[in-house]
Amino acid sequence: MLKRSMIKIALPVAASALVLSACGSDDDSGDGGKTYTIGFQAGLSGENAQLGINEANGAELAVVQWNNQPNVPFKIKLTKSDDEASETKAASAAQKLIDDSKVIAVIGPAFSGPTKASGALYAQAKLATVSPSATNPTLTDPSNGFTSLLRGVPNDFAQGSGMATYYAQKLKLKKVLIVDDKSEYGVGLSDVAKAELTKAGVQVVSESVPKGTPDYTSAATTVKNSGADGMIYAGYYQDAAPFAKKLKEQGVKIPMISGDGTNDPKFIELAGDAADNWYLTCPCTDAKVEPATKDFTTAYTAQFKEAPSTYSAESFDLTNMVIQEIKKLDEAGTKITRELMLTNLKKASYKGLTKTFSFDEKGEFAGKGIYLYEVKAGKIGYLGNIEELAKS
């Protein structure tokens, strides 16, 4: 999920180099035992915060379950850093974790923009960042130098391609209007969808409507007058919701599809019945539906008094993957450093509840799978694998 100019922070980066060799354990577990600290970075406040909260809860549940086991050889501490899903605040949020010498790996960042803004800092600190949801395809380009970034999810090449395949093959649309929100995430997703639709012989019209636009009347009018028989919105639920309301007011009834940035109950909460009939994609399955995540859903709901949502289960899995690598090193009696954790995570494989996680030489998730959802009667319904649905 989820272009701003890179912020230069010379002094904090230099300071971070001083803690690279620090051991990640301490004795503050309360019982005299060892504790290892995992960081977490996402937008936990501000616009679209629910997406970050979903992941924070998943990570926290993994830590709680580990610590609550009898006779565990060490405890895990989770330290959270809120970047407010903002590219301009991401560097300082990352620096908070980098400057904490006890943090030996990070879950996140959650959004593509903050991931891009903080990727160089984490790379210089040799601090592994395992993102459950930053999907912009360019993030793992070697030219970025984001050598500590590991993506735990298929990128938007898969998601944009899935949207295009469904529209072209299943719905047999002839002309599609793509609207992006000008964010790192939105532009990346829209570029892929446009290329794939064009390849499939579908006429494409593109528009950009910046996130935070106060009135979507003009955007809705553009869709209505476009002559398109389908629309893709590449952005987040905070803007998709008012856009959906204006589209409904103007009587637009063409198929509408958006990605994982919109795929959250908050979209329905904000859009009301205007969200009905929207398709939503995600490189994530529905934890409330899949048999493998039944116990996870029960435990999550009991812990947080709400059901898991987009990327909750993936964040849970990736946190457990990090804990697994800590456990291996701890059992071997090896001093655990950031650099060693990064090296081991790059070559690790972990069978989680949602999928098996491993990474290629660029840090890209070594797998695929995009899933389609549809909003009906105020609820997000899980339809299944989008490629399989397109062929049916």
The pLDDT of residue 177 is above 70: yes
Any domain includes 29:
yes
Confidence of residue 392 (pLDDT cuts 50, 70, 90): confident
For residue 214, what are its two tokens?
């106060």
d(CA 272, CA 238): 13
The pLDDT of residue 368 is above 90: no
DSSP states along 194-253: HHHHHHTT-EEEEEE--TT-S--HHHHHHHHTS--SEEEEES-HHHHHHHHHHHHHTT--
Please state, for a pLDDT cut of 70, what percent of the chain lies above it: 92
Any domain includes 314:
yes
Does 205 share its domain with 330? no
For residues 214 and 267, is the Cβ–Cβ distance under 8 A?
no
The pLDDT of residue 27 is above 80: no
Does 237 share its domain with 380? yes
What φ, ψ does residue 231 adopt, rounded to 5°?
-135, 145
Averaged over 53-74, what is the pLDDT?
97
Q: Check residue 285 and give its pLDDT.
A: 86
Does 150 share its domain with 194? no
Averaged over 173-188, what is the pLDDT?
96
Bridge partners of residue 74, in order along the sequence: 34
Does 334 share its domain with 382? no
Interstrand relation of 230-234 and 256-258 (parallel, antiparallel or unpaired): parallel
Q: pLDDT tens digit string along 319-361?
A: 999 999 999 999 999 999 999 999 999 999 999 999 999 999 9
Does 300 share its domain with 278? no
Does 24 share its domain with 102? yes
Domain count, the chain: 2
Confidence of residue 33 (pLDDT cuts 50, 70, 90): confident
The pLDDT of residue 115 is above 80: yes
Any domain includes 327:
yes
- Domain of 323? 10-154+292-357
d(CA 203, CA 186): 20
Does 258 share its domain with 382? yes
Q: Check residue 6 and give its pLDDT.
A: 36
The pLDDT of residue 1 is above 80: no
Any domain includes 364:
no
- Type and span of the H or E element at 24: none
d(CA 278, CA 272): 12
Does 115 share its domain with 207? no
d(CA 294, CA 306): 14
**pTM score > 0.95 for this model?**
no
Residue that has been written with the tokens 């923009």 in this structure:
113
Does 192 share its domain with 331? no
Does 150 share its domain with 49? yes
For residue 146, what are its two tokens?
């984001």
Any domain includes 5:
no
Confidence of residue 387 (pLDDT cuts 50, 70, 90): very high
DSSP states along 290-346: -GGGHHHHHHHHHHHSS---TTHHHHHHHHHHHHHHHHHHHHTTPPP-HHHHHHHHH
Any domain includes 287:
no
Provide the CATH number for the domain around residue 142: 3.40.50.2300
Burial class (CB in 10 A: 0-12, 13-18, 19+), 200: middle
Does 51 share its domain with 112? yes
For residues 81 and 38, is the Cβ–Cβ distance under 8 A?
no
Does 188 share its domain with 312? no
Any domain includes 130:
yes
Bridge partners of residue 175, in order along the sequence: 203
Q: How far is CA 84 from CA 26, 55, 170, in A?
A: 29, 14, 37
Any domain includes 16:
yes
